[in-house]
Amino acid sequence: MTAVTAAPEAAPDRRVVVTALGITQILAWGSTFYLLGVLANPITRDTGWPYDRVIGGVSVGLLVAGIVSPRVGRAIGRHGGRRVLAIGSLCLAGGLLLLGWAPNFALYVGAWILIGAGMGAGLYDAAFSTLGAIYRKEARGAITWVTLFGGFASTVCWPLSALLVAQFGWRGACFAYAAIQLCVSLPLLWFSLPRQAAAASIVTESGAPADVRLTPAELPVFALLSIVITLGSVILAVVGVHLLPLLQARGLEAAAAVALGTLVGPSQVGARVLEMLGGRYYHPVWTMMFSTVLVAIGATLLYAGWTSYALAIVLYGAGNGIGTVARGALPLALFGAARYPVLMGRLALPLLVAMAVSPLVGAIVLQRGGPDLTLALLAGVAAANVLLVGALWVVSRALRGADDQP
């Protein structure tokens, strides 16, 4: 038997919720996924641990995040995001404290396991689920705004990390980020998010979400969506880690490669701004289509040669930028708000596992096959993803109804 909880009269102020989640996303991504971009070399020099094993900490964290993400989705569906995101912030703080203290490599890995639990409960997927629970069908705009904030994570936190390392060493930088989680992120989440979802949610008498099973018509749609999102994360992870080495292997100087790499962030944010302005006029499946087409063109131009590198990176960044929006908005539009947190948790599992494994696979391909083979494979995967989104468009027509015009 199910019961419908009473809905509060009004959802909380979007400006407050989006700002809180946006700031905490910058800090969460900056102190986890982007952390070793600055700290890996200092850690290697100080401890003597091999560089690849140090970098492997992020992969451990992403694997753990993928494992816990289905439980996170169910918890948000049952309790709302306030408590879950706060626990995620506490896990990040505890993991960063352990990371800064770790006297040996085993405890270093243990710290990343705890950080990974915090990543699963505190990065985009948990934030998107929270927004879906609060604003339900109207969450798309809020999701886009949060990704705008998140797009500045490396821009804000790489310089901050460099400053902290210069002043306090890499261990002090970890302690500082732990303090930021406790003194900034945790209070923001606790006092800005509602105690429960603003809109009514369907729950069983035991407090668990009602039937979240997919219908026979929905199963192929969900499977295709999961594959599309996972392949997008594979491209993101490989390009994010190996773009500069790939460009240098093609003959560019390090300074030129870095200069080209800086085009990704502004391209992501610019595309998200355009999506924010125009996204209300078309179904999110078209956002996903635009995303995969832009990424495929960008990957193909990267393979084509140096004269198109700048354009290729801009197109890739734009496609990846709106792809993050589509990842949050499309499941909500296809499957509805009641099941959204749970389904987002399920979608996050293969996505995060792929992000953990892909950089290693990319490194092996780059080392053994060279940059041409690596870029050719990326272009092939990106092109295949365009075809898969086309298939998704076809099989999801019944779920989209009339709201699918570009």
Which tokens sit at 11?
């959802």
What is the structure's pLDDT at 358? Answer: 87
Q: pLDDT of 276-305, one tens digit each? A: 888 778 889 999 999 999 999 999 999 987
Average pLDDT over residues 20-35: 92
The topology (CATH level 3) of 8-204 is: Growth Hormone; Chain: A; (1.20.1250)
What is the structure's pLDDT at 144? Answer: 87
Extents of the domains making up the chain:
8-204, 219-400
What is the structure's pLDDT at 405? Answer: 57
Mean pLDDT of all residues belonging to the chain = 86
Q: pLDDT of 386-395, one tens digit each? A: 999 999 999 9
Confidence band, pLDDT 50/70/90 cuts, at residue 31 = very high
Which tokens sit at 297?
């063109």
Average pLDDT over residues 101-130: 94
Q: pLDDT of 229-264, one tens digit each? A: 999 999 988 887 788 788 888 888 878 887 888 788
What is the structure's pLDDT at 401? Answer: 65
Is pLDDT larger for residue 268 or for residue 208? 268
Confidence band, pLDDT 50/70/90 cuts, at residue 312 = very high
Cα–Cα dist 201/220, whole Å: 25
Which tokens sit at 3?
């019961």
Q: Is 394 in contact with 307 (CB distance < 8 Å)?
A: no
What is the structure's pLDDT at 157? Answer: 86
Q: CA dist 146 to 321, 365, 396, Å?
A: 12, 34, 26
What is the structure's pLDDT at 328? Answer: 87
Q: Is 121 in contact with 88 (CB distance < 8 Å)?
A: yes
Average pLDDT over residues 7-24: 79
Q: For the chain, state the CA radius of gyration.
A: 21
Q: pLDDT of 326-340, one tens digit each? A: 988 899 889 888 888
What is the structure's pLDDT at 210? Answer: 52
Cα–Cα dist 301/315, whole Å: 9
Query: Beta 2-4 vs 202-204: how paired, if at all?
Result: antiparallel
Cα–Cα dist 239/246, whole Å: 9
Output DSSP code: residue 123: S
Cα–Cα dist 70/328, whole Å: 15
Q: CA dist 107 to 97, 203, 206, 211, Å?
A: 11, 40, 38, 41
Q: Which residues make Cβ contacts (< 8 Å) with residue 214, sequence separation at least 6? A: 222, 335
Average pLDDT over residues 45-65: 89
For 48, phi then psi, to 5°, come to 80, 0
Confidence band, pLDDT 50/70/90 cuts, at residue 3 = very low
Confidence band, pLDDT 50/70/90 cuts, at residue 211 = low
**Domains 8-204 and 219-400 equal at CATH topology level:** yes
Q: CA dist 163 to 89, 95, 156, 158, 166, Å?
A: 22, 21, 11, 9, 5
**Would you say domain 219-400 falls under CATH 3.40.50.1820?**
no
Q: Evaluate if residue 196 carries a pLDDT over 90.
A: no
Is pLDDT larger for residue 207 or for residue 82? 82
Which tokens sit at 353?
């596992």
In this prediction, what percent of the chain has a pLDDT beyond 90?
44
Confidence band, pLDDT 50/70/90 cuts, at residue 198 = very low
Q: pLDDT of 139-179, one tens digit each? A: 888 888 998 888 888 778 888 988 999 999 999 999 999 99
